[in-house]
Amino acid sequence: MTPILPGSTIGVLGSGQLGRMLAIAARRMGYRVHTLSPDRDSPTGQIADREVVAAYDDLDAVREFAAGVDVVTFEFENVSSQAAEAAESLVPVRPSGSVLRTTQNRLREKRFLSEGGFPCPRFAEVRSEEELARAAAEVGLPGVLKTAGFGYDGKGQRIVRSLGELKAAWAELGACPAILEQFVEFECELSVVAARGTDGSFAHYGAVWNTHRNHILDVTVSPAPLPEPVRREAAELARAILEALDVVGVLCVEMFLAPRGRLLVNELAPRPHNSGHFTFDACVTSQFEQQLRAVCGLPLGSTEQTRPAAMANLLGDLWSRGEPDWESALRFPEVKLHLYGKAEARPGRKMGHLTALAETGAKARETVLSARDALIR
């Protein structure tokens, strides 16, 4: 397969912070970048050579966009499969539209995992209030009711602890197709960001330890402070999933570590992931450069991590008292600041992140949290 070499143009569907960091990596390697999304002056658009403002379901605009690039990739999976198919009629789309279709819908994703023999929580399809009651009997309560499509950062889901909560939960989520999933009493949440090339080559960044706040990733520590057999099994699970999906590009596998060391796959994200942001500063090849290498058919880069690291998200809540105190945070010499160029800070909105490097993951976590605390005036 002929590689797509520097000087070519990368098309990115989506224009948020993931596309921004991909564009930075691409520009550094001599590629041009075009982005398409409904937003103007977007995080990706500020770095890209061309920003196309159009709806994802404007298939004529998507085809026109694809005609001007050499390959299309995603930074946001909630793009219609029709848009992916429209682009695929003109240029390679990596990961493919079929990968996108599977992973953007929770029911299709769970079916793929279950039918492929991958360990995941029990689940049942729900299309009506009556089916929800039957699902509760089948799966058991407590459970997590999740809309089938277009959910991320905890959106489109609600914990249901008793039969009396079923009706309200169904109404709250809009009475739309959903799944009821077993509630997992996990020991920790972890993820593996991995990449697969056009030649089937595979690389991963190891298991990382994630903690969430209000369903949004808060802190990632790498490497995860877990026994080596657990880390090895997590990486092997990621490889098997990427191969089963025939992924070309980057994909993140989010997992729970259940009691007795059992790993359960929670969700898949066919793109760089928030929990892999530390790679920008701590690894020989960042997840964003790796995405670029994979979708362009180039050899994958080394994922060696130079030092333990921790990443802390910066949400819009930090701006509630005015501009954060950047100078105080940057007094920590081992801390790196990444801001995404978003004009408006809103509670819960990802505005940037900090990464700290240290001798151990625990020390990196302590440092990155101290630096984030220093932002509050």
Model confidence pLDDT, tens digit, residues 127-157: 988 888 899 899 999 999 999 876 555 568 8
Domain 188-374: CATH architecture, name and number where available: 2-Layer Sandwich (3.30)
pLDDT at residue number 155 = 67
Given a cut of 90, whether residue 294 has pLDDT beyond it is: yes
Roughly what angle, to the nearest 10 degrees, separates helices 59-67 and 81-88?
40
Indicate the domain borders of the chain: 9-93, 122-182, 188-374
Q: Could you tell me if 9 and 90 are in contact, meaning their C-beta atoms sit under 8 angstroms apart?
A: no
Q: For the domain 122-182, what is the CATH code?
A: 3.30.1490.20
d(CA 216, CA 127): 27
pLDDT at residue number 9 = 98
Q: Tell me which DSSP letter residue 235 carries.
A: H
Fold topology of 9-93: Rossmann fold (3.40.50)
For residue 61 the two structure tokens come to 């605009």
9-93 matches 188-374 in fold:
no
- Mean of the per-residue pLDDT values for the chain? 95
Coil, helix or strand at residue 3: coil
pLDDT at residue number 150 = 62
For residue 148 the two structure tokens come to 């089938």
